[in-house]
Amino acid sequence: MSVVPAEVLPGSALPVDETASPAAAELGPRARLWPALGAVYRAQLSRARVARIPLLFVATFQSIGIMILMRGVVDGGAEAQAVVAGSAVLVVAFVALNLLAQYFGQLRASGGLDHYATLPVPPAAVVLGAAGAYASFTVPGTVVTAVFGCVLFGLPMAHLWVLVAVIPLAGAALAGLGAALGLLAPRPELATLLGQLGMSAALLLGVLPADRMPEVVRLARDLLPSTYGVEAFARTFGERPDWAFVLGDLAVCGVVGVVSLAVATWAYRRAAVR
Amino acid sequence: MRGLTKTYPAVRGRRGVPATPEVRATDDVRLDIRRGEIFGLLGPNGAGKTTLVRQLTGLMRPDAGRVEILGHDIVRHPERAARILAYLGQESTALDDLTVSLAAETTGRLRGLDVRQARDERDAVLDELGLQPLAGRPIKKLSGGQRRLACFAAALVGERPLLVLDEPTTAMDPVARRAVWSAVDRRRAERGTTVLLVTHNVIEAETVLDRVAVLDRGRVIACDTPSGLKERVAGEVRVELLWRERAPLDVPEVAALQDRVVESGRRWTLRLAPEEARAVVATVTGGAAFAALDDFTLATPSLEDVYLALGGDAEQGLVKA
């Protein structure tokens, strides 16, 4: 521990603990969380616009195609509600989980994380900015899918506004999961594989009506965060939705989102400094 | 860390990747870099340059040793590195999908600038490097040299007293190279910026560097000014002989040289004392050997010769661009 004479402190803003030795240079500013998050979000959204629009079309058509197929199987009622809700959330899973896992997997493998790691950015800003951008990018596809599903199965559109809560919360849960998978996978191929598997799980467990599934599959369904987004959304198609359950399901999404984003932030820190 | 010098007195041994034999990528490296200096790290592939740089930038923890930058202990506080230095790595994947202007602006924002500052600095840097015409294009769509220049621009936004540049001019045309070096010089003249440069390019190293450390297998085998290093082998001259088809070994003077040459196809390279060189040139330009000779050159030593003379891996050499 060295004692620093007051007269060598450059300027007045520099606290003593920042000064390692008398001749220490002033440190550059640290990027604060929210502005940095905003900058990452904006940059990621612009990259998504350039590179991901075709994929958004794929995601939307995939969900619409599934709904058209399922129309021959289910005949209205609770099952139709589950199919529409599941297809809409599937768009979120495709982009936020699958594509984000791939992105972070590739970024980690190619050394692209060095760029962020040598900037004075809070890790949370990088992870949340990217996750937020991917989640927002799902909005048009999810809305189109939901509206199309309502028309197709003759469901009421009165409560579609609930998507305002479903997309960010399911998006946070799935994007956090995607980011964590991408950053923890030792190889980029593995990150891609895990992302694809997660999306397939969301497809099979979220879209297909749960009542016809064996017990094991139902258990797996309960473990998947997207399920709660699907359930919350599906409930709002009812005559008199039970808002307490809707809120409960959304709360699960929110908690999973917070936990998985925290894990992803930890994984980022670990991946950036090897 | 004495006075105004910047010190990296480091005892770094970095264990290599698991499952392969233990590799010391950097082995007890000790370097002092002065403020305002353009300092180069020169060495063949796998010499440990990038490992060393990753340790300096806080991206990798050394197993042992100390790194001190401008009075800050980077091993104890790796997060401070990002607030003192700007790093230009070899990879651009983080910026690839962005436009040149957004990449520069975002990087500035992430260096703690507010929106207005970041935009002003972005415009100034893009003007300085002549990148304005490309500002709206995604970096991925640019050519290799332009992409490198765009990443260099991002590294300059949000002023830092130390620039760590890992092969900044790879694939650049001469105009872009000149833009890079004049931008570096301007920062050094106006703000005393220090530059640490990793390079393969011997010619560039000779012209831009104040001092250079030659790395080989994780160790610094020499550290001096480029001309100081060259003086170490000043007694020697390089003679290159290019034969038409093959060396006329029936000429006894030529045959006598055979065990001292580095042979590559029709080309013979010799490192000789000046008098010897003169004798060799006289021999091959007259008499029987001349008929077999296609071309020859006599040259004073370059940094590459220094590197080879210092005991670097002669088979590999440095890449000359």
Residues 6 or more apart whose Cβ sits within 8 Å of residue B172: B145, B148, B149, B180
pLDDT in tens, chain B (321 residues): 222 344 444 555 555 544 455 666 677 778 888 888 999 988 877 778 888 888 888 888 887 778 888 888 888 888 888 999 999 988 888 888 899 999 999 999 999 999 999 999 999 999 999 999 999 999 999 999 999 999 999 999 998 999 999 999 988 999 999 999 999 999 999 998 999 999 877 888 888 899 998 888 778 888 888 888 887 776 778 888 888 887 888 888 788 888 888 888 888 888 888 888 888 888 888 777 888 888 888 887 777 777 777 655 444 444 433
Instruction: Kindly write down the DSSP assignment for every residue of B269-283, as one continuous string.
Output: EEEE-HHHHHHHHHH
Which of A23, A51, A118 faces B87 most closely, judged by CB atoms? A118
Residues A60-67: contacts with CB under 8 Å, at least 24 apart: A60/A91, A60/A140, A60/A141, A60/A144, A60/A145, A62/A90, A62/A94, A63/A87, A63/A88, A63/A90, A63/A91, A63/A141, A63/A145, A64/A144, A64/A145, A64/A148, A66/A90, A66/A203, A66/A207, A67/A145, A67/A148, A67/A149, A67/A152, A67/A153
Place of tokens 């060393």: B52
pLDDT in tens, A28-69: 888 888 999 999 999 999 887 766 788 888 889 999 999 999
Q: Pairing between strand B194-199 and B5-9? A: unpaired
Q: What's the CA dihedral at B171, B176, B177, B181 to 10 degrees?
A: -140
Residue A73, classed as helix, strand or coil, is coil
Cβ proximity of B56 and B8 under 8 Å: yes
**pTM for this entry:** 0.81
Residue A123, classed as helix, strand or coil, is helix
Q: CA B178, CA B269: separation in Å to the nearest integer?
A: 32
Cβ proximity of A221 and A227 under 8 Å: yes
Whose CA is closest to A119, among B106, B100, B180, B129?
B106
Q: CA B101, CA B132: separation in Å to the nearest integer?
A: 8
CB atoms within 10 A of CB A165: 17
Residue A89, classed as helix, strand or coil, is helix
Which of A22, A42, A119 faces B82 most closely, judged by CB atoms? A119
The answer to whether B227 faces chain A, any CB pair under 8 Å, is no
Q: CA B69, CA B85: separation in Å to the nearest integer?
A: 9
The answer to whether A69 faces chain B, any CB pair under 8 Å, is no
Give the CA distances from residue A240 to residues A76, A80, A156, A237, A244, in Å, rounded to whole numbers and listed in that order: 17, 17, 11, 8, 12
Nearest-CA residue of chain A relative to B139?
A: A47
Please determine, for the modelled complex, whether the ipTM score is greater than 0.90. Answer: no
Question: Which residues in chain A touch residue B109, judged by CB atoms under 8 angstroms apart?
Answer: 31, 35-36, 38-39
The answer to whether A114 faces chain B, any CB pair under 8 Å, is yes
Write the DSSP symbol of residue A26: P
